[in-house]
Amino acid sequence: LRRVRPTTILNVESSKEGITNEISSEPSSDIPVPVHRAEGLCAVYKPLDWTSNDVVSYIRGMLERDARNRGAKLAKRRSKSKTKKVKVGHGGTLDPLATGVLVLGIGSGTKDLQSYLSGSKKYSAGAQLGFETATLDMEQGKENAVKTAPSDHVTYAMIEGIIQQFTGDIMQKPPIFSAIKKDGKRLYEQARAGKTEEDIEIEARKVTIHNLQYSKEDQNGRGLPCFGIDVECGGGTYIRSLIRDIGYALDSCATMTSLERTQQGQFTLDVAIPREDWSADNIYAAVQRTNSIFNTLDEGNDVED
């Protein structure tokens, strides 16, 4: 992972003053105002019912307003102008019904997001046996289940007995309602057009489950037919599909009822900025903290070398 350095100008007013003192012949109005106060990575807590792109768009708009308020000149978002733009991206999609850690790249930090797409992540999820929806989550509600099966026979001992077969490298078929492309079209687009899994012939892919633990209650404290799982996995893993396959292994079926990403890379829940605290000041402060940590790690590696 490339270490993103803090921008040299983080406080516009103090920077202007310092430059003006050094070069008194140059008026301060000629000093370009930086588009970003800091560049790098941070994490926010994605709220329920927001898409990951909703978050990116909101944060970008907020930072654009901050840049204009500071006097920075910005090009329009889709303009081909060489004038700089506020850059914001995310490091791995969370579905609208999922919550939790969403890593953001600000400015040059967007170049580092690819490693987060493929890197390790941790999740806490709730599941319910006995029914399966088309989306494998509660988006369409239990009343719109496409499959039902008995679950009264399932015991905690049975879950404990099969859970470890889903660790390590496993083959997993992605949900039909996912952004994966097949024949040039995203699966969810084909599903909404009326195609089925059999029509599309979705192929299983190898994914890695580093650690998998189950709990006797879901996030709402409900026991069987509900239960919870904590997962550490590699990129490309669908927790919805994992819960579906656990249901099949128990001679039943299952649907994911909740999902929270608890960690992505070094970013954990305790550093993810909650929705009520989203502001330009807090975003840039978080980026600077991350840069400081990265710089300390780099210095430590230099000493070891």
**pLDDT per residue as tens, the chain (305 positions):** 444 443 332 333 333 333 233 333 333 556 788 999 999 999 999 999 999 999 999 999 999 999 999 998 887 766 666 568 999 999 988 989 999 999 999 999 999 888 777 778 999 999 999 999 999 999 888 888 999 999 999 999 999 999 999 999 999 998 988 878 887 888 888 888 888 887 788 889 999 999 999 999 999 999 999 999 999 999 889 999 999 999 999 999 999 999 999 999 889 999 999 999 999 999 999 999 999 987 776 555 554 54
pLDDT value of residue 138: 93
Strands 98-106 and 254-264, sheet pairing: parallel
Give the C-alpha separation, 35 to 64, whole Å.
Answer: 8
Q: What is the pLDDT of residue 4?
A: 44
Report strand pairing: 40-46 vs 205-215.
unpaired
d(CA 222, CA 87): 42
Q: Which pLDDT does position 28 carry in this prediction? A: 52
Which residues are bridge partners to 273 per DSSP?
44
The catalytic residue among 66, 95, 112, 245 is 95
Q: Decide: residue 201, CB within 10 A, 0-12 exposed, 13-18 middle, 19+ buried.
A: exposed
Give the integer Cα–Cα distance in Å for 72 and 60. 14
| Dist CA 242 CA 254 (whole Å) | 10
CA gap 290, 285 in Å, rounded: 9
User: How many other CB atoms are there within 10 angstroms of residue 175's CB atom?
Assistant: 24
Predicted local confidence at residue 301, as pLDDT = 56
95 counts as catalytic: yes
Q: Is 184 exposed, middle or buried (CB count within 10 Å of its CB: 0-12, 13-18, 19+)? A: exposed
Structure tokens at 217: 């209650």
- pLDDT recorded at residue 29: 58
Are the C-beta atoms of 272 and 102 separated by less than 8 Å? yes
Chain centre to alpha carbon of residue 50: 12
What integer pLDDT is reported at residue 82 of this predicted model?
Answer: 59
pTM to 2 decimals? 0.82
